[in-house]
Amino acid sequence: MRSRVSFARALAFQAPLLLLDEPFHALDDETRRRMEELLREETRERPAMLVTHHPPPPGAPVLALQPAQQNGTLP
């Protein structure tokens, strides 16, 4: 329930960028699918940045950032 409320709150404000932290965590498949669809609609007009520890759905437009390596080790 908390994920859905946070997601709705983020969409309610017309910020130029959506910042979402684990927006689909602990959701059943149907709710996740509906929220992903809504997010696709919302991001036609504005960009979104999602933080997640799970792989994106197939075909999702993603820019994956990796930690920088220095001398072969992580900072």
Q: Enumerate the domain spans of the chain.
A: 2-51
- Give the whole-angstrom CA distance, residue 17 versus residue 13: 10
Partners of 70 in the beta sheet? 73
pLDDT band at 7 (very low <50, low <70, confident <90, very high): confident
pLDDT of residue 71: 64
pTM over 0.95: no
- Tell me the pairing of strands 48-51 and 18-21: parallel
Q: What is the pLDDT of residues 24-55, one digit of tens each?
A: 888 888 988 898 888 888 888 888 888 877 77
Task: Choose between 56 and 46: higher pLDDT.
Answer: 46
The 8-class DSSP code of residue 56 comes to P
Residue 74 has pLDDT above 60, yes or no: no
